Amino acid sequence: MILLLLALIFLLAGLAIWTGFKTRKIEALYPAVGEMIDVGGYRLHAVHLPRPDTADLPPLLFIHGASGNLRDQMTPFRPEFEGRAEMLFVDRPGHGWSERGGPDNDTPDGQADAIARVMQSKGISSAIVVGHSFGGAVAASFALAHPDKTAGLVFLAPATHPWPGGIAWYYDLTQRPILGSLFAATLALPAGLTRIESGTACVFAPNPKPADYASATAAALVLRPRTFRANAIDVANLKPYLTRVASRYTEIKTPTVIITGDSDSVVLAHIHSEGLARDIEGAELVWIRNLGHKPDHVTTKLAVRAVEKVAGLDVDMQAAAALAEAGLEKDAATCPG
């Protein structure tokens, strides 16, 4: 028994050493691409693109989802809006290169407040907020707490309402104080590296995953122990938080467009997206046939049209949706996991 225990200790120690080594390799491969901004005792990492002389849109704020970082939104949207708008891409607290801060950031409202302070530091008085997946919960919280800073809302496959069931076992384990820290420091990274390609393919399905998605978006950053644990705490706290807050969405009065796919296997669109469309007066819900959980990457042009719509331009979202659907009708990628 003692020998078995010693063997386990040596195994875990070896995994922890390997995880530390691999973490440094990942960080060297995907360094910070923006600036570190103090938001009150800790710093968030952000990329700010000032307003160009040719701008025809208000400032844009992009909020990434779970397991992501600012590159996930910057990759598809920066080329689309460059020359048209001031842009702010932010690593949510504890993600990418942002520091976690205190326990307030364990729920979307605290993260929304932190992001609002980044906006303030860059002199942005209000912005159209674009939120994907978990970022949708943060975007909704942002609109509730900072209506004066919210010029419009674009939700992309959002997670905004309580849902039936629980969360994946590894999130539940990792959010726990002692076992979670041990799991994140030893097993999460080696196991996660074997699942990055297949896992992201499942998120995109039935649409094909771009071949360079993991590298372009620095997906491996989430496997670092502190980030993995922050992500798990976010996910574990989301449902209880939404149970308390979702009833307040009726207070949101800003122009809103919601884009969702009928083949999303990550969030239940009929709960989240339909819930938002019901709760936010005047919100336009755009359903896309054969679209999975990544409208930001798969139907980027449609998301651009949604931004234009909430900015006040004359846009027929249903016609734009039909055009987007035409390009997806033959997609049949499957989840390999």
CATH number at residue 59: 3.40.50.1820
Question: Does residue 329 sit within a domain?
Answer: no
Which pLDDT value is given to residue 337?
66
- 235 assigned to some structural domain: yes
Tokens of 232: 């798990």
Structural domain contains residue 336: no
Average pLDDT score over the chain: 96
**Residue 333 belongs to some domain of the structure:** no
**What domain range is 278 assigned to?**
2-323
CB-based contacts of 28: which residues, under 8 Å, 6+ apart? Answer: none
In a domain, 234, yes or no: yes
pLDDT of residue 11: 81
The pLDDT assigned to 328 comes to 97
Residue entry with tokens 């002199």: 123
For the chain, which residues score pLDDT lower than 50?
none
Provide the pLDDT for residue 2.
81
Tell me, what's the pLDDT at 12? 84
Q: Check residue 152 and give its pLDDT.
A: 98
Dihedral of alpha carbons 174, 36, 140, 146, sign: positive
Give domain status of residue 219, yes or no. yes
Total number of domains constituting the chain: 1
pLDDT value at residue 88 = 98
- Rounded CA separation 246/261 (Å): 21
Strands (E), the chain: 35-38, 43-49, 60-63, 87-90, 127-132, 150-156, 256-261, 284-288
For residue 332, being part of any structural domain is answered with no
pLDDT at 101: 98
The answer to whether residue 331 sits within a structural domain is no
